[in-house]
Amino acid sequence: MITVKRFQADWCGPCQALKPIFSQLRTEYIKVIFEDIDVDNDPTQAQQFGIRSVPTVVFLNNGSEVARLTGAQNKQTYIQHLDKILT
């Protein structure tokens, strides 16, 4: 099972810019679980994953971290990571 955790905050401009990208990814990768974690509302999970800045996107394969991207990236970068994990 592939899970993508997007750590973000409401006050973060780049985090807000990623919202439409992740909405599109959700429709294109229906077998992938996408989670949005607000670091202010869920500091425990942010600490568990060692999140130091937002946005940070963590890719998990069967519960194990396989990739991490910090900062806002373009949609193609996320697609490349997802395709690599799914193959």
- List the catalytic residues: 12, 15
SS3 5: strand
SS3 6: strand
Q: With the C-alpha atoms ordered 21, 23, 28, 29, is the resulting torsion angle positive or negative?
A: positive
DSSP 11-63: T-HHHHHHHHHHHHHHHH-TTSEEEEEETTT-HHHHHHTT--SSSEEEEEETT
